Structure 1
Amino acid sequence: MTTVTVAKPKAQQPGRGSRRISLPVLLLVIAGVLVLTSVVRLITGADGITSTGQMSTALRLAVPIGLAGLGGLWSERSGVVNIGLEGMMILGTWFGAWAGYQWGPWAGVAFGIIGGALGAVLHAIATVTFNVNHIVSGVALNILALGATRYLSKFTFADAPQGSAKQSPPIDSLGNFDIPGLSGWLDTLNQKHWFVVSDIAGLIGGLVTDLSPLTVIAVALVPFTWWVLWRTPFGLRLRSCGENPVAAESLGVNVYKYKYLAVIISGGFAGLGGAFLSIVASNVYLDGQTAGRGYIGLAAMIFGNWMPGGLALGAGLFGYTDSLNLRGGTVNVHALILLLAILLVFGAAYLAWRKKYVPALVTLVISVLMFVWYAATNEVPRQLVTATPYIVTLLVLSLSAQSLRMPKADGLPYRKGQGK
């Protein structure tokens, strides 16, 4: 009698379902995009797309988006979906402005973090303790934060000098600084408008010019988050709660504690982003100041595949598109149409190489339409420039959705002892 042995299928390892780009390939892609951008700049004469001022503005606009995205990363790595980032940012803007007006900007930063963390506590109680649907809880928090800050503003800012029910009095600045010697030299090199060299000078110059201390702290939080979550026992336990909380519990991990800590830290990051808006970006609190940046931060986190490095790239992309609205947007966006059309040609060639002929054909058709649009117009409507960050958000998420892998237990209800 013969025995037939059936090979067991190999278990798919976490993260193997999606393709992860290696660092050399990523750097090659970035270099290629930079070269194409320089070519487009020379063809169109839109020197502003890589100017030092443009990049400096993009960095300032990317910071609150990146902080919100980091908040979402901490929360979702523990298994809690945080749609409430927008509300936590709103609380951060109000608490930051209120304390900053009373006791100075650094006190405002601290209270902005506390305000966001208070909103996160409500979200954690609802989702972790009572197993409320994470999306419902987050949306409710966004509505609650908006109503609460409008109500509080009527009692705190309305009677203050230079304040109103929708605006706080001015807040003292944290101050700005440049990297001595380096910023001026890079700006001079950028104004030469040389091929690639000036573009690199503009990119680096934007990172070392007109910096706020809070900007430096925010940028440093990206590698700090990576180190904590991927190089410490605390981070390993936290991430295990987002991948398999039952297995984590069986190994002695207090899943509830780690979920609470992650969500509260998440709120602190979002609140810090809100404080940045009211203290650094505009030095006053304004009603509706966040303008959906919490949602865009969540999109940047998804674009980055729940990783700090990818999140930083996503925040930079959205910050750059937002900066076009502030610095000669119509001319620059018109030039970027040509850049996008060229990139789509490369995208169609890549899809054809992968033998995905139908998507390649669709991509090529869209590229041709973009070329026609660029050739037939001299500038784009102002309304399109204003909507560019949101359009880019939708495009990036739709194009990258198939290659992403969220934590396995993200958004799933958990009860202690459910694996017994």
Structure 2
Amino acid sequence: MTTVTDLNQPTLQPTAPTGRRMSLSVLLLVIAGALALTSIVRIITGADGITNVSQMSTALQLAVPIGLAGLGGLWAERAGVVNIGLEGMMILGTWFGAWAGFQWGPWTGVLVGILGGAIGGLLHAIVTVSFNVNHIVSGVAINILALGATRYLAPLAFEGHTGGSAKQSPPVDSLGNFTVPGLSDGLRDLNEKGWFFVSDVAGLLGGLITNVSWLTLLAVALIPGTWWVLWRTAFGLRLRSCGENPIAAESLGVNVYKYKYIAVIISGGLAGLGGAFLSIVANPFYLEGQVSGRGYIGLAAMIFGNWMPGGLAIGAGLFGYTDSLNLRGGSENVHALLLLGALLLIIGSIWLAFRKKYTSSVITLLIGGLVLAWYLGTNEVPNQVVSATPYVITLVVLALSAQRLRMPKADGMPYRKGQGK
């Protein structure tokens, strides 16, 4: 195992993260089990929309900005800086991306959106790293500042242009989509047959290769890219050491301030990219309020993923899927998911009993029974419940995963150069 004492060695060979990790085979088995259970629920309820190609494609599109915000939070917090300001940096990304996009083209808008978020990250780094201001206070201030700044700038930049107004930008040209010919149609046909498990797998895979934006591919590639940089390079090892023990890192020659600045600026740039995705791909224009809490949900996805890129991607996918229920047959699909939730709670109760956690098992079983009674006693759920589903799932997932989480040891802690001397 590589230790912190290796930081200045020229032959440094950083290793993958250690500790208890879910192997790939176990992860695939869990995903297959979840799909099988979902397939059973689909057949019982007749809610074919919960795993069709269109649902999965929408879920992927909604998961991307959440995942990018989560990646931004991961970079900052691995260097020891809590970034509550992801929401504001995404807002800056939406405005700057649309502003540049409608004038100079969508790819220019993407680059300027990244720059807008990075400016927010730089401000957060100056305030927290150089001036040692509380990270939460700084992040909240950036969220407020970004919202106010874009509300002020939008009328100045967009009014007078075709399609523009005080709260909306003119439309931005499309970046273009791709669909795998032949395979996409085959998976869609297979999904429509309604077979157990096979059709659900076809719906999942079909959603990943049907009408996918090129920016989505870039965002997905950033997940393994982040893992490789942070856990397979000397640069990543030094950056993570700043979030674990900055005093020890400094004693071994690491410029802690520099790495914190780099991490937080990258964090802002990733959040800005997520914002640009919203205003260029998800909707081809800037619209006031379109971030709608995704920065906070991205932070929740990062925590759910235990500050690891792979877990973050799963969390973003889960939150993106629940968010997609608002757009495609929400009431029917959410009602079907009540049955899925009840079954998962009952299975969880059995697992807790097997581990001899009887009190938790009984509580989980009671909650599962209540959810099952809700499903059996109703034919649909109120629209308010559909709208609140992504946020409820966020809270539930964080509550259930809290005991296994392990944040960087120095995350959010104040640091001054030379304080260990």
TM bucket normalised to smaller: over 0.9
Residue 5 of structure 1 corresponds to none
* Aligned residues of 1:56 and 1:210 also touching (Cα < 8 A): yes
Residue 258 of structure 1 corresponds to 259
Taking the aligned partners of 1:354 and 1:47, their CA distance within structure 2 comes to 35
* Aligned residues of 1:19 and 1:403 also touching (Cα < 8 A): no
Residue 300 of structure 1 corresponds to 301
Could you say what secondary structure the match of 2:254 adopts?
coil
Residue 132 of structure 1 corresponds to 133
Residue 281 of structure 1 corresponds to 282
Among the aligned pairs, what percent are the same residue? 76
Residue 400 of structure 1 corresponds to 401
For these two proteins, the number of residue pairs brought into alignment is: 406
Moved more, 170-179 or 274-283: 170-179
Residue 121 of structure 1 corresponds to 122
Q: C-alpha offsets along residues 256-301 of structure 1, whole Å, 9 cap, x if unaligned?
A: 0000000000000000000000000010100011000000000000
Could you say what secondary structure the match of 1:168 adopts?
coil
Taking the aligned partners of 1:254 and 1:36, their CA distance within structure 2 comes to 50
Residue 183 of structure 1 corresponds to 184
**How far is 1:217 from its partner?**
0.4
Q: 2:403 aligned with 1:364, yes or no?
A: no
Residue 40 of structure 2 corresponds to 39
**Superposition CA RMSD, Å:** 1.2
Taking the aligned partners of 1:305 and 1:52, their CA distance within structure 2 comes to 29
Could you say what secondary structure the match of 2:338 adopts?
helix
Taking the aligned partners of 1:233 and 1:180, their CA distance within structure 2 comes to 41
**How far is 1:22 from its partner?**
3.0
Residue 374 of structure 1 corresponds to 375
Residue 152 of structure 1 corresponds to 153
TM-score when normalising by structure 2 = 0.95
Q: C-alpha offsets along residues 338-384 of structure 1, whole Å, 9 cap, x if unaligned?
A: 01100101100111111111111000001111111111111111111
Could you say what secondary structure the match of 1:416 adopts?
coil
Alignment of 1:97-116 (within 5 A): 97-116=98-117
Residue 333 of structure 1 corresponds to 334
Residue 223 of structure 2 corresponds to 222
Taking the aligned partners of 1:401 and 1:22, their CA distance within structure 2 comes to 21
* Aligned residues of 1:64 and 1:276 also touching (Cα < 8 A): yes
Taking the aligned partners of 1:209 and 1:266, their CA distance within structure 2 comes to 29
**How far is 1:179 from its partner?**
1.1
Alignment of 1:162-173 (within 5 A): 162-173=163-174
Alignment of 1:32-111 (within 5 A): 32-111=33-112
Which amino acid in the other structure matches residue 333 of structure 2? N
Could you say what secondary structure the match of 2:188 adopts?
helix
Which amino acid in the other structure matches residue 278 of structure 1? S
Residue 3 of structure 2 corresponds to none
Taking the aligned partners of 2:23 and 2:360, their CA distance within structure 1 comes to 24
TM-score when normalising by structure 1 = 0.95
Taking the aligned partners of 2:29 and 2:195, their CA distance within structure 1 comes to 21
Taking the aligned partners of 1:358 and 1:342, their CA distance within structure 2 comes to 19
**How far is 1:19 from its partner?**
5.2
Residue 270 of structure 1 corresponds to 271
Residue 236 of structure 1 corresponds to 237
Residue 10 of structure 1 corresponds to none
Which amino acid in the other structure matches residue 42 of structure 1? I
Q: C-alpha offsets along residues 140-190 of structure 1, whole Å, 9 cap, x if unaligned?
A: 000000000000001111222211100001111111110122111100110
Taking the aligned partners of 1:218 and 1:22, their CA distance within structure 2 comes to 24
Could you say what secondary structure the match of 2:419 adopts?
coil
Which amino acid in the other structure matches residue 329 of structure 1? G
Could you say what secondary structure the match of 2:99 adopts?
helix
Taking the aligned partners of 1:298 and 1:135, their CA distance within structure 2 comes to 13
* Aligned residues of 1:96 and 1:112 also touching (Cα < 8 A): yes
Taking the aligned partners of 1:375 and 1:389, their CA distance within structure 2 comes to 22
Could you say what secondary structure the match of 2:212 adopts?
coil
* Aligned residues of 1:87 and 1:141 also touching (Cα < 8 A): yes
Residue 420 of structure 2 corresponds to 419
Residue 343 of structure 2 corresponds to 342
**How far is 1:26 from its partner?**
2.1
Residue 204 of structure 1 corresponds to 205
Q: C-alpha offsets along residues 192-223 of structure 1, whole Å, 9 cap, x if unaligned?
A: 11010000000000000001110000001000
Taking the aligned partners of 1:385 and 1:349, their CA distance within structure 2 comes to 29
Taking the aligned partners of 1:354 and 1:28, their CA distance within structure 2 comes to 20
Which amino acid in the other structure matches residue 268 of structure 1? G
Taking the aligned partners of 1:379 and 1:170, their CA distance within structure 2 comes to 37
**How far is 1:24 from its partner?**
2.5
**How far is 1:79 from its partner?**
0.3
Q: Which runs of no fewer than 5 residues in structure 1 stay unpaired?
A: 1-14
Taking the aligned partners of 1:29 and 1:103, their CA distance within structure 2 comes to 46
Distance 1:364 1:19, change over 3 A: farther
Residue 5 of structure 2 corresponds to none
Taking the aligned partners of 1:383 and 1:181, their CA distance within structure 2 comes to 40
**How far is 1:20 from its partner?**
3.6
Q: Which runs of no fewer than 5 residues in structure 2 stay unpaired?
A: 1-16
